[in-house]
Amino acid sequence: MQPAKILPKSAFPGWIDFLKRSYTVVGPKAMHGQTVFGEIETADDLTLEYNQSVIPPKKYLVPQREVLIEYKLDGTEVEAKFNEEATVVFGVHTCDLHAIKLLDLIFSKGFTDQHYAAHRDNTIIIGYECLTTCGPESFCRSMGTASAPESAYDLHIIDMGSDYFIQIGTERGEALFTGYDGVFTATEPDYARMNGTLSDKWQRFPYRLDVDVTEIPDLLAESYHSDHWQELADICLACGMCTQVCPTCYCFDIRDEVDVTLSVGKRVRSWDSCQIDSFALVAGGHNFRETRAARQRHRFMRKGKYQFDATGMVGCVGCGRCATACLVDITPIKTFNELYRRQQQQPEEVEA
């Protein structure tokens, strides 16, 4: 890893202006009492101290709606469309960095998703260390995501009062300082201050799960036939909000849209949700996940077991967005803890 940098807060606005000469700069912004990621014009637009954004910054890597190809219906022309806009994403929380790391694994496994790769290649990620928990629904410490994974960021910012301590993750991250003279190489006292800041933060991050993250895949496997899935289904509205705000959900639908002249068309990819009843509808009118109980179980199995089996990473990063968005208070904390409680109450099998 490259030596860290120290950026005085007084020099931060100038750095943002410097970056905007070469990049589209986006980051967390206050809007209607919430936080959203959007393009910024000056450093004053940024809200780096935020509880959680409504939609995760994954939208810059997996857009909510994206044109994949454009074509002529007579077959004479087909053109793939790729993102070529150089973008810097500021203020990505550590849980979202873990989510990006998971998405990197998913979209590069087997056949690489070329559109995701294009977004990733043209997007520079700047993480921001959370020094206080995002709220009662976040449980990042329980999920092991309260610290930044090195492989997911280009730069990572730690607030040290009058200065920002900036860890360098990649060469292209370090290149963001090329030509800007307001930044300095960190010294040993700076590293000591940074370590003290990180050490002090942990008292503000409680464990909120009764089960260890390493036990979640087995817990879910053993709870596959639990009555709790039907209990969740009885209150679930099947609105799909939990998946729309999740930083690790990536299910999508692809549709062809044809111009009214019937001469040109485009193929569009957009976010979808496994919680919608039509998601698992197949030819012949069959639905292999017809009940809400099956869909709720699938959602939690995918987050806690299926992704772990496929990638070695649990698919939930503890951000708490789904719990905040859910109108009937279905939350990962309550669900995992309730499954664990019922598991503990089961009588142990006695060997003959």
Three-state DSSP string of the chain: CCCCEEEEHHHHHHHHHHHHCCCEEEEEEEECCEEEEEECCCHHHCCCCCCCCCCCHHHHCCCCEEEEEEEECCCCCEEECCCCCCEEEEEECHHHHHHHHHHHHHHHCCCCCHHHHHHHHCEEEEEECCCCCCCCCCCHHHHCCCCCCHHHCCEEEEECCCEEEEEECCHHHHHHHCCCCCCEECCHHHHHHHHHHHHHHHHHCCCCCCCCHHHHHHHHHHCCCCCHHHHHHHHCCCCCHHHHCCCCCCCEEEEEEECCCCCEEEEEEEECCCCCCCCCECHHHCECCCCHHHHHHHHHHHHHHHHHHHHCCCCCCCCCHHHHHCCCCCCHHHHHHHHHHHHHHCCCCCCC
pLDDT for the residue numbered 118: 97
On whether residue 248 sits in a domain, the answer given is yes
282 and 172 fall within a common domain:
no
185, 204, 223 — which closes off a domain?
204
On whether residue 254 sits in a domain, the answer given is yes
pLDDT for the residue numbered 110: 87
On whether residue 176 sits in a domain, the answer given is yes
- The pLDDT profile of the chain, 352 residues, written as one tens digit per residue, is 688 999 999 999 999 999 999 999 999 999 999 999 999 999 999 999 999 999 999 999 999 999 999 999 998 999 999 988 999 999 999 999 999 999 999 999 888 999 999 999 999 999 999 999 999 999 999 999 999 998 899 999 999 999 999 999 999 999 999 999 999 999 999 999 999 999 999 999 999 999 999 999 999 999 999 999 999 999 999 999 999 999 999 999 999 999 999 999 999 999 999 999 999 999 999 999 999 999 999 999 999 999 999 999 999 999 999 999 999 999 999 999 999 999 999 876 555 5
108 and 221 fall within a common domain:
no
**Which class for 275: exposed (0-12), middle (13-18), buried (19 or more C-beta within 10 A)?**
buried
On whether residue 138 sits in a domain, the answer given is yes
Boundaries of domain holding 222: 213-345
**Which class for 127: exposed (0-12), middle (13-18), buried (19 or more C-beta within 10 A)?**
buried
48 and 113 fall within a common domain:
yes
pLDDT for the residue numbered 132: 95
75 and 147 fall within a common domain:
yes
On whether residue 304 sits in a domain, the answer given is yes
272 and 229 fall within a common domain:
yes
204, 223, 243 — which closes off a domain?
204
Rounded to an integer, what distance in angstroms lies between the CA atom of residue 155 and that of residue 145?
17
pLDDT for the residue numbered 150: 81
158 and 195 fall within a common domain:
yes
149, 183, 204 — which closes off a domain?
204
219 and 198 fall within a common domain:
no
- Please choose, from the candidates 218, 198, 217, 57, the residue with its C-alpha nearest in 3D space to the C-alpha of residue 141: 198
pTM score: 0.95
What's the half-sphere exposure (Cβ side, CA atoms, 13 Å) at 156? Answer: 23
195 and 243 fall within a common domain:
no
61 and 102 fall within a common domain:
yes
Rounded to an integer, what distance in angstroms lies between the CA atom of residue 49 and that of residue 131?
9
On whether residue 352 sits in a domain, the answer given is no
pLDDT for the residue numbered 351: 57
On whether residue 270 sits in a domain, the answer given is yes
Is the four-CA dihedral 157, 160, 161, 162 of positive or negative sign? negative
- Please choose, from the candidates 239, 216, 227, the residue with its C-alpha nearest in 3D space to the C-alpha of residue 300: 216
- Please choose, from the candidates 46, 45, 32, the residue with its C-alpha nearest in 3D space to the C-alpha of residue 126: 46
On whether residue 229 sits in a domain, the answer given is yes
146 and 258 fall within a common domain:
no
Residue labelled with tokens 């719990």: 323
- Find all residues with CB under 8 Å of 83, minimum gap 6, and list them: 115, 118, 119, 122
236 and 198 fall within a common domain:
no
**Number of domains within the chain:** 2
Rounded to an integer, what distance in angstroms lies between the CA atom of residue 149 and that of residue 153?
8
pLDDT for the residue numbered 207: 96
126 and 229 fall within a common domain:
no
